[in-house]
Structure 1
């Protein structure tokens, strides 16, 4: 089956626009799981800003611009930073249009912005931020998802004599595949990254820019360990969470290999792309959808091990949340994973190696002392990334701009 045979028409048109603007990577075969986040579509309908406009504070607090992403809960994701520092300017979404109009509006905005992750929601957020800038001078505006939501804000900040920083979340390989880095990133007063290898890359390709690494946080008050776990290989509960940059071919082999080792292994795979659900259900996996925050936390707490096969990574919500729940995790040693894992807080395996991942799972399940040690150290390591502490680090960044 060709990739075009199951692609939505709007996505195909967006890729053509990307290619016309030299965004070559997103038209290549083998990139089925590209992060087309913030297209702001739900069931084919366009999502635009809703809610009241922002209130401009008088205390000089930084203004944090973000979109509330429907599939990310209140206790997950980078928007949690807004609880601990600055003043949020956040938009949600309501249905505005559907069909051809909404699709072409998305394609048109991506073409104008020359950013394949840009969306009508991104534009609405920048308009709202720009309106706030008209009433302020010398304040810092922080675009929390600069990969997706940054086009006009640096220009608006210059015109209104404000300052703007942006956090970049995508790894270097995804940035280059999408045709970046983009010129407006060099106009930021500071670029924040969530992994060190991102920072090194951006410093090399944007030599005049100020780049700082500030780790992603995790809600350690919400994601907490269960009273106890007593795993065994013959009835192990194995979890995998998320889809962005996951290696599903490796995951499939891991499921098959562990099922052969023990028929009692049970697999719960959360957040699979829709086109892969039937494939993994045929292997006996459970693939729940529409989970609440509490359901997700219960999944971490009730699992015995999490496997996280990755192609690339910066910060990873699933990894941090599993560690906060004391869940031993076997994860691919790629990219930013190494900024969040220390020896003994998770098991690192080579990327693309299903056999190594499967063997690591078996080793953990057959070695109780090793299992419990990793569970304890995982929680301790996650505590280093509490949002309260990340907020303090971000406050220092604001003070330095």
Structure 2
């Protein structure tokens, strides 16, 4: 089986993180054909003469930029030459537009599959054109909430296939560095509840003197960003442009991942931390419960800072250390069994062959 993949690598993801890493674990009977990225300037000028007059971002919605339109055009022509069995848009939110107009020009034997990562609330807020998805033969969503929402638009075509994690790389440390401080880790940018995080940090610093915060954030916070308020504290360590190994070390040496969210489907940081058997505090929202049972994480209600403070108080008490570790190990075991990339890739393989 041949699969033409239109992937969207995200700059701050490394070799082991992100949705596109799942394709590395597909069975060997799948021949992956990667799409061409941007052409050279001479060919680009020729393509622009044809494509630019037809490009209409208002039709395809925000985040579908012209460079994606060009990549789709290149993929369409490659599909005509290579005749794949499946064309998979790994981030259909921003890479599917042109194909919705030219679907009828493809051989009927070629099936179109799209994966979307944003929660229904994002689609409503951005007024993204869902009609572009109707050219797909299968739509993959990363939460049951999203499946329920899109079922009404694409009946019998929507499949909940969970996000996964590389459990061979994201593993617990063989030994942990001894420290008198409590190491709290925050990772990422998209759909994080920064205001809640910062308010909780204020409260924690006013209550405890032994907490250190490690923040992995890909940008320099602007003065208007909530994170900028943390400039007043000396117990904040900032990390960006770090290697995969440095990120792994941060997970392994942390005492907790504190990741308040505005919404979620599948979340890389939650999966990676849990795979490292790190206790997780996060928000009850979106698809969190599709991945993590309530009894194995520390779930907080939106905007409930006191609940977060109570959980930190529990985690900081030495007599709870054994129970906390056992709970985290059970969560790590669950991920290895059900959400390892190999397991998720097998489910994707089954979907391909069913079309």
TM-score normalized by the length of structure 1: 0.77
1:127 correspondence with 2:73: yes
1:111 positional shift: 2.2
1:369 correspondence with 2:310: no
Instruction: Select between 66-75 and 325-334 the one with higher mean Cα deviation.
Output: 66-75
* Contact map agreement 1:122 1:148 (CA 8 A) in 2: yes
1:201 correspondence with 2:154: no
In the alignment of these two chains, the number of paired residues is 331
* Contact map agreement 2:3 2:84 (CA 8 A) in 1: no
1:61 positional shift: 2.1
* Contact map agreement 2:139 2:157 (CA 8 A) in 1: yes
1:92 positional shift: 6.1
**Gapped regions of structure 2 (runs ≥ 5):** 42-50
Aligned to 1:286: 237
> Structure 1 pair 207/139, CA: closer, same or farther in 2 (3 Å)?
closer
Picking from 316, 327, 332, the partner of 1:379 is 332
> Structure 1 pair 115/231, CA: closer, same or farther in 2 (3 Å)?
farther
Picking from 63, 72, 75, the partner of 2:16 is 75
TM-score normalized by the length of structure 2: 0.86
> Which digits, 9 at most, give the CA deviation of each residue in 1:52-81, with x for residues without a partner?
xxxxxxxx3222211222111111111112
Task: Please list, as runs of the form range in 1=range in 2, the aligned pairs for 1:14-33 lying within 5 A after superposition.
Answer: none
Aligned to 2:46: none
Aligned to 2:280: 329
* Contact map agreement 1:330 1:347 (CA 8 A) in 2: yes
Task: Please list, as runs of the form range in 1=range in 2, the aligned pairs for 1:99-138 lying within 5 A after superposition.
Answer: 111=57, 113-137=59-83
Q: Distance in 1 between matches of 2:245 and 2:134?
A: 40
Aligned to 2:113: 165
* Contact map agreement 2:141 2:158 (CA 8 A) in 1: yes
**Gapped regions of structure 1 (runs ≥ 5):** 1-59, 97-104
1:189 correspondence with 2:143: no
Picking from 329, 350, 353, the partner of 1:396 is 350
Aligned to 2:123: 175
Picking from 356, 375, 386, the partner of 2:307 is 356
Q: Distance in 2 between matches of 1:387 and 1:91?
A: 25
1:89 correspondence with 2:34: yes
1:283 positional shift: 3.1
User: 1:286 aligns to what SS in structure 2?
Assistant: strand
Q: Distance in 2 between matches of 1:222 and 1:349?
A: 28
1:226 correspondence with 2:157: no
1:308 positional shift: 0.8
User: 2:239 aligns to what SS in structure 1?
Assistant: coil
Picking from 212, 215, 218, the partner of 2:159 is 212
> Structure 1 pair 75/149, CA: closer, same or farther in 2 (3 Å)?
same
Aligned to 1:140: 86
User: 2:12 aligns to what SS in structure 1?
Assistant: coil
Task: Please list, as runs of the form range in 1=range in 2, the aligned pairs for 1:288-327 lying within 5 A after superposition.
Answer: 288-327=239-278
Q: Distance in 2 between matches of 1:325 and 1:214?
A: 22
1:398 positional shift: 0.8
Higher relative contact order structure (alpha carbons within 8 Å, sequence separation ≥ 6): 2
> Which digits, 9 at most, give the CA deviation of each residue in 1:160-213, with x for residues without a partner?
212211001100000111103521111211110011110001112x05451000
User: 2:281 aligns to what SS in structure 1?
Assistant: strand
1:118 positional shift: 1.0
